[in-house]
A = this chain, B = another copy of it.
Amino acid sequence: MSLLVVGSVAIDSVETPLGRAADVVGGAATYFALAASFFAPVRMVAAIGDDFPEQALSDLRERGVDLSGVERRPGTTLRWSGRYHEDMNVRDTLALDLGVFAAFQPLLPAAYRDSRFVFLANIDPRLQQAVLEQLPAPGIVGCDTMNHWILESRADLERLLQRVGILVINDEEARLLSGERNVVRAARRILTLGPKTILIKRGEYGVIQFSANSVFAVPAFPLEEVFDPTGAGDVFAGGFMGQLARSGDTSEAGLRRAIVYGSVMASFVVEDFSYRRLQTLTVEKMEQRYRQFVSLTDINGG
């Protein structure tokens, strides 16, 4: 089943302890769409500027991503530059220029309106809400957010969360949203805000999922070299939602397998800058790492 994503598309300049890349394509929607495209047809809603490279659009099209909801507007594409610390769980934003993204108003092509699987990547919660209002029958709604909206647009975010099934955030965001430092308490608190399921991303330590009756935790796939963590969380979400759309299985077991697929996809994207690693990735390699992941976590395995 097809999967709709709305979110940012960006041009990034990134510096990590292992190297740097200037003016490479990034953005949550880009990373999400490319990862999800390994599982299901993806429809994308975003805004880009005059400066956005045609090559990146080709790359997305080549992976079958439907770009009819990507609007090119006069001006510059969102630009972000950041530097990762030696501890790559920590990064500093060096510059941010919203460009055409500042006036982004997501408008869904008519053909997108039957989307059943929807992911609202991190943008203003009012825009996320506006997307939902254009969808007559969204089935599974996943959502990300960030500290800025939690602090500055709390009421809008809380209104939105009542319509969100699966919230995908990182541990810092979970703490800020809940006011609880402990991850279990944070999740319990957030479950009262609407979502039936919370996925808390913990960087190199993996993901923990909470729902009313179940907790599931997986480590991240251990890698000898993390080249660039940019986009890992978005790629995780793309693999996760992609697998849900591919299988149609949103049972607890289906969610768990989808979390592992998300983790697998994230483990690939950090092996190179931007989305390069996803361009050479095959479904076969992906399924192979899925099996490695199962063995990595199997208490009775070995």
Contact at A256–B301, with CB atoms within 8 Å?
A: yes
In the bound assembly, the distance between CA atoms of A223 and B217 in angstroms comes to: 12
The residue of chain B having its C-beta at the shortest distance from the C-beta of A181 within the complex is B86
In the bound assembly, the distance between CA atoms of A241 and B285 in angstroms comes to: 37
Contact at B185–A224, with CB atoms within 8 Å?
A: yes
Count chain A residues whose beta carbon lies closer than 8 angstroms to a beta carbon of B. 40
In the bound assembly, the distance between CA atoms of A293 and B299 in angstroms comes to: 10
In chain A, positions 205-235 with a C-beta closer than 8 Å to chain B are 205-206, 208, 214-219, 222-226
In the bound assembly, the distance between CA atoms of A202 and B225 in angstroms comes to: 19
Q: Is the interface of A mostly helix, strand, loop or mixed?
A: mixed
Q: How many copies does the complex hold?
A: 2
Q: Of B184, B214, B225, B299, which one neighbours A224 at CB under 8 angstroms?
A: B184
| A223 contact set on B, CB distance < 8 A | 182, 184
Contact at B256–A222, with CB atoms within 8 Å?
A: no
In the bound assembly, the distance between CA atoms of A273 and B175 in angstroms comes to: 25
**Given A184-B222, A184-B224, A223-B184, are A297 and B257 neighbors across the interface (CB < 8 Å)?**
no
Q: Is A294 an interface residue when CB atoms closer than 8 A count as contact?
A: yes
In the bound assembly, the distance between CA atoms of A182 and B271 in angstroms comes to: 13
| A206 contact set on B, CB distance < 8 A | 205, 217, 219
| A224 contact set on B, CB distance < 8 A | 182, 184-185, 188
**Leading 6 A-B pairs by shortest Cβ distance:** A252-B302, A217-B219, A205-B205, A184-B224, A253-B302, A184-B222
Interchain Cβ contacts under 8 Å between A and B, 28 examples = A87-B181, A182-B224, A182-B226, A184-B223, A184-B224, A185-B224, A202-B205, A205-B206, A206-B217, A206-B219, A208-B222, A214-B302, A216-B297, A216-B298, A216-B302, A217-B222, A217-B297, A218-B219, A218-B299, A219-B219, A252-B301, A255-B302, A256-B298, A256-B300, A256-B302, A257-B300, A260-B299, A298-B299
